[in-house]
């Protein structure tokens, strides 16, 4: 399976989890982010990475 991730801020974590379940059809894994990144939905600082691995 291809590794997929979404970075998100606290405001958009629920949206990222919903997208992961709907599009990837697998249980998502949510981790605190380790490097500086922007939220994929609003460009605020991201605090979580939601992935399929």
pLDDT per residue as tens digits for the range 5-36 = 999 999 999 999 999 999 999 899 999 998 89
Question: What's the pLDDT at 53?
Answer: 80
In 1-53, beta strands by DSSP E: 5-8, 29-32, 48-51
**Eight-class DSSP state of 26:** S
Question: What's the pLDDT at 1?
Answer: 64
Nearest to 4 by CA among 43, 40, 36: 40
**Eight-class DSSP state of 46:** P
Length of the chain: 53
| 15 phi, psi to nearest 5 deg | -60, -45
Its pTM stands at: 0.87
């Amino acid at each position: 399976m291809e590794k997929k991730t979404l970075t998100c801020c606290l405001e958009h974590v629920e949206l990222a989890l919903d997208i992961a379940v709907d599009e990837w059809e697998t249980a998502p894994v949510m981790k605190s982010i380790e490097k500086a990144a922007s939220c994929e939905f609003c460009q605020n600082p991201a605090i979580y990475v939601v992935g399929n691995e």
